[in-house]
Amino acid sequence: MKALAARRHDRRAPALLLLLALLLVGAVYAVVAPSSAQAATKTATADDIAAGEKLFQANCSTCHGPSAAGTDSAPSLIGVGAAAVDFQVGTGRMPMQMSGPQAQAKPVQFTDEQIAQLAAYVASLGAGPSIPTSEMVDPALGDSASGMALFRTNCAMCHNAIGAGGALSQGKFAPNLWGTTPTHLYEAMLTGPQSMPVFNDANLTPEEKRDIIAFIDEQGNGSPGGLDLGSLGPVSEGLWAWVVGLGLLLGLSVWIGAKSS
């Protein structure tokens, strides 16, 4: 403590304090922001919808058409609901930077407020799935054992056994799920972005979706056996067996076999 006290008069102390304060603000913002976004959708005002329409015309209408009815290059957004917008825009997939096998996640282009406004606008065009509440996606409330059973039947074939991702045909792929927020996971299941099929509430009930989120959330703890090697299965294990195991053994063999000087 004495050392700390002495440092208080350090010239760098204000800068450090500022940094801490910034971090704190950031952390608080991170906690508060998603729920405020949901609040916005729940109580979408006419202003929000109007602002969303402006954003839509400026950023999305080139592909999706001025009335969001779709064009040859992009689907109609009427009836896709706020959940689809929150997922596509909130993960940076939309607006698409370039055409390719599939839209990829990238840095988000809009603020949470703007996303909420866009979502409000698209939701106003036709009834569609809305953004789930934080309770609906809380991993702590889910049952991971049920989630595991559902995940391996419905998701693992594309996303790998615990969500590390996998290949689809023609350069498309199912992304890794570990960094995706619970809300986005839920929205993806509900709206079936791009190649992914839809899992409506009759197919996977909201509770089952939450169970799946709980299972994915558990994967953040890593593997009890040590480094998880990407959790990609036997191919990566084989690669490491050759590189690390045989590499070490051959190195040691050369050392043992070499004549010492």
Partner 1 sequence: MSTPHDSHQELSVSGGQAQPPARFENPGLHEHKPRQADVDPRVTKRVERQVLLLLTLSILGTIAVVWAYFALPPGDTVGSMRLSNLVLGVGLAVCLLGIGIGGNYYIKLLMSNREYVEERHEIRSSDETREIAVQMLKDGGEDSGLTRRGAIIGAGVTALALFPLSLLVPLIGNVGEDWNVRKFKHTIWKKGTRLATDPTGRPIKASDVTIGDVWHVIPESLEDLHEGKLDEKAKAVVLLVRLDPRDLKSDQSPEGETWSHDGIVAYSKICTHVGCPVALYEQQTHHLLCPCHQSTFDVADSCKVVFGPAKRPLPQLPITVDDEGYLVAQGDFAEPIGPSFWERATK
Partner 2 sequence: MSDLKTAPSRGAKAAGATADYLDQRTGVGNAVKFFARKVFPDHWSFFLGEIALYSFVTLLISGVFLTLFFVPSMAETHYEGPWPSMNGVEMSEAFSSTLRLSFEVRGGLLMRQIHHWAALIFMASIVVHMFRVFFTGAFRKPREINWVVGFVLLILGLAAGFSGYSLPDDVLSGNGLRITDGVVKAIPIIGSYLSYFIFGGEFPGTDLIPRLFTVHILLVPGLILALIGLHLFLMVMHKHTQYPGSGRSNTNVVGYPALPAYAGKLLFNFFVVFGVIALMAGTMSINPVWNYGPYDPSPVSAGAQPDWYMLFLEGSLRLMPGGTEIMLGSYTLSLNVIIPAMIVPGILFTLLGAYPFIEAFATGDKSEHHVLDRPRNRPFRTAFGVSLLVAFGILVLAGSNDLIATHFHMSINDITWAFRVLIFVGPWLAFLITKRICLGLQRKDRELVLHGHETGRIVRYASGEYIEVHKPLDAHERWLRVQHEAIRPLEIEPAEDSRGVRRKGYKADRLRQRLSQLFYEDRVEPVTPAELAAAHAAHGHHDDHAVETPHGVPAQVGAGAPASETAADERNH
Among 14, 202, 234, 254, binds partner 1 (CB under 8 A): 202
Does position 147 interact with partner 2 (CB under 8 A)? The reply is yes
In angstroms, give the least distance from the CB of 143 to partner 2.
9
The reply to whether omega before 139 is within 30° of 0 (cis) is no
Neighbour tally for 124: CB within 10 Å: 16
Length of the chain: 261
CA–CA–CA angle 255, 258, 259 (5° rounding) = 135
Among 198, 235, 244, 250, binds partner 1 (CB under 8 A): 198
Q: Which two tokens stand for residue 253?
A: 């063999």
Does position 256 interact with partner 2 (CB under 8 A)? The reply is yes
Does position 244 interact with partner 2 (CB under 8 A)? The reply is yes
What does the CA dihedral 73, 79, 85, 88 come to, rounded to 10 degrees? -50
Residues in region 211-240 near partner 2 by CB under 8 A? 215, 218, 223-229, 231-240
Does position 254 interact with partner 2 (CB under 8 A)? The reply is yes
Q: Which does 236 bind (CB under 5 to 8 A by kind): partner 1, partner 2, none?
A: partner 2
Find out whether 63 is annotated in a ligand binding site.
yes
Q: Taking phi first (over 0 means left), then psi (-120 to 50 degrees means alpha), and beta for anything else, what does residue 70 get?
A: left
The whole-angstrom separation of Cα 214 and Cα 200 is: 18
In angstroms, give the least distance from the CB of 21 to partner 2.
38
What does the CA dihedral 4, 6, 8, 12 come to, rounded to 10 degrees? -100
Residues in region 160-179 near partner 1 by CB under 8 A? 166, 168-169, 172, 174
Q: Kindly state the number of chain residues that form the binding site for partner 1, as judged by CB under 8 A.
A: 35
Find out whether 158 is annotated in a ligand binding site.
yes
Query: 122 vs 77, 131, 170, CA distance in Å?
Result: 7, 12, 31
Q: Kindly state the number of chain residues that form the binding site for partner 2, as judged by CB under 8 A.
A: 58
Does position 149 interact with partner 2 (CB under 8 A)? The reply is yes
CB proximity list for 5: less than 8 A, separation 6 or greater: none
Q: Which two tokens stand for residue 154?
A: 């419905």
Can you say which residues are annotated as belonging to the binding site? 60, 63-64, 155, 158-159
Contacts with partner 2, residue ranges (CB under 8 A): 101, 144-145, 147-149, 152-153, 156-162, 164-171, 173-174, 215, 218, 223-229, 231-242, 244-246, 248-250, 252-254, 256-258
Can you say which residues are annotated as belonging to the binding site for heme c? 60, 63-64, 155, 158-159
